[in-house]
Amino acid sequence: MLDSFQQAFKVGDLRKKLLFTLFMLLVFRLGAHIAVPGINPGAMEKLLSGQLFGFFDIISGGAFKRFSIFAMSITPYINATIIMQLLTVVVPRLEELQKEGEEGRKVIVQYTRYGTVVLGFIQAMGMSIALGRSGALVNTGFLSYLIIAISLTAGTALLMWIGETITEKGIGNGISLIIFAGIVSRLPGQIAGVGQELAGGIIGYLNIILFIVLALAIIASIIAVNEGQRRLPVQYAKRVVGRKVYGGQSTFLPLRVNAGGVIPIIFAMSLMMFPATIGSWMDPASGLNRFLQEYFSFSSVAYNIVYAALIVFFTYFYVAIIFNPMDVADNIKKYGGFIPGIRPGRPTAEYIDRVLSRLTLAGGVFLALIAIMPNFIIGLTGITSLWFGGTALLIVVGVALDTMKQIESHLLLRSYEGFVK
C-alpha cells in the first residue's frame, strides 16, 4: 500500500488527483468547525449527549455536536438518492431516462440534487424548531429558524458538491470519502477518551487488548468478505472469421460476495436517522416521542432488528440495480460463450440470478452482523468512549480498499502505456 502511494505521487496526473482529493477533504474538515449562527453551545452540548447522538457525531466528523454548517452531513443527499432509485423502478419516465445512457443519467442526477435541497431544508427546519423548543437557541422566532435552516441546507449542498467534485476530478467515491474522513477525524478524541477511562479505573489493559483483538478480527473478516468471489466458469467456442480463429478459451465470471460494498449500510443508516429526527420535532413529554426514544434508540433491540433488515433489503436492492443477469447472459451468448452444463440465454440468466441471490444473502447478513456489532463490543470490553464499531470499521475498510484499487488501476494503466511506448 505504501509503495502504491509513493508511486502515485510520482505520476503527474495521479498526483494532481490525490492532492485535489486531500484539499477537498480539508475544506470539509474546516467547514465542520464553522458554527451555525444563533446557537447556545452549552445548551447544545447538554442536549446532544447520549449514545445515539454520539454515533451520529462520528458519521458527521464532530459537526453534529458542534452544530456546524455540516451538522446534517451528507444524509439528505443519500436519502434523495434512495428515493430517486426507488422512483426509477416505479415511474416509467425515470426508467426511460435511466436507459438513455449518460444524458439520462445527468437528468436523474439533477433531480437528485433538487431533492437533496428540499429534503435538507425540511430536515433543517425541523431541527431548528426542535432546538428552539429545547432552549438551545439564543433567539427564537421564524427569522432565527429560517437562518439556521438555510445555513444547514447550504452546508449539505456544499458537501454534495464536494463529494461529486471528488468523484469527477479526484480519486475514489466522493460521498464515501466524506463519511470516511468524518469517521477517521474522530479517532484522536476517542482514543483520548479511552485514556481517561483507563486513568479513572473504569477499564483495564485487558479490556484494551480484548478490544484490539476484536477490532483486528473484524477488519480481517471485512477484507475477506469484500474480496471474496464466486467464479462461474465460462467456455467460449471457437469461431472462424476469414482465416483467423477466435475463442476456444476458458475464463470465469466473478460474482462478489459483497457486491454492494458499503452503500447498503450507508443507505440503511441514513433512513434510521429519521425516527430520531421526527422525535426531536415533538414535545419531549409526548407519547410518540417516548416511543421513539425507547424503541429506536441505538442500543434498543427494535432499532437493531430494523437496522439489520434494512441492510439486507438494500443489499438486494443495490445489487439488482448494478447487476442485470439477463444482460450478462446475453453478452456471453453474443460472443459464443456458455457456462458448462447450462444452456445459453434465459437458463444461463436464471442460473446466474440464483447464484447471485445466495451470495447477496450471505453478504447482506454479514453486513447486518457487522453493523450491530458495537453493542456486543461495548458489552464485552466495557469501553464506551471508542465508538469505532462495526459500521464505522466497515465503511473505513471498504472505502480504503476501493480507493486503493482505483489508485492501483491508474498505476497499472500508466505501466501499460509505458510498456507500449
Rounded to an integer, what distance in angstroms lies between the CA atom of residue 55 and that of residue 401?
A: 23
For the ranges 54-58, 201-205, 295-299, the lowest mean pLDDT is seen at 54-58
- pLDDT, averaged across the chain: 79
- Look up the pTM and report it: 0.74
Kindly report, residue by residue over 309-327, the tens digit of the pLDDT.
988 998 888 888 778 888 8
Cell of 325: 443477469
Confidence of residue 421 (pLDDT cuts 50, 70, 90): very low
For the ranges 247-251, 253-257, 279-283, 334-338, the lowest mean pLDDT is seen at 279-283
Rounded to an integer, what distance in angstroms lies between the CA atom of residue 417 and that of residue 308?
A: 45
Give pLDDT, residue 23.
Answer: 92
Q: Does residue 160 surpass a pLDDT of 60?
A: yes
Q: Does residue 51 surpass a pLDDT of 50?
A: no
The answer to whether 197 and 384 have CB atoms below 8 angstroms apart is yes
Most trustworthy range by pLDDT among 64-73, 159-168, 322-331: 159-168
DSSP state of 262: T
Give pLDDT, residue 157.
Answer: 93
Mean pLDDT of 7-23: 80
> Hey, what domains does the chain have and what are their CATH numbers?
1-187 (1.10.3370.10), 204-382 (1.10.3370.10)
Confidence of residue 293 (pLDDT cuts 50, 70, 90): low
Rounded to an integer, what distance in angstroms lies between the CA atom of residue 361 and that of residue 367?
A: 10
Kindly report, residue by residue over 92-145, the tens digit of the pLDDT.
888 788 777 778 888 888 999 999 999 999 888 888 887 777 777 777 788 888
Q: Does residue 308 surpass a pLDDT of 80?
A: yes
For the ranges 15-24, 139-148, 270-279, 329-338, the lowest mean pLDDT is seen at 270-279
The answer to whether 391 and 265 have CB atoms below 8 angstroms apart is yes
Kindly report, residue by residue over 325-381, the tens digit of the pLDDT.
888 888 888 877 888 888 888 888 899 999 999 999 998 898 888 877 766 777 777
Q: Does residue 60 surpass a pLDDT of 80?
A: no
Mean pLDDT of 43-63: 60
What is the enclosing helix (H) or strand (E) of 63?
helix 63-66
Q: Which residues contact 421 (CB under 8 A, 6 or more apart)?
A: none
Give pLDDT, residue 377.
Answer: 75
Give pLDDT, residue 3.
Answer: 65
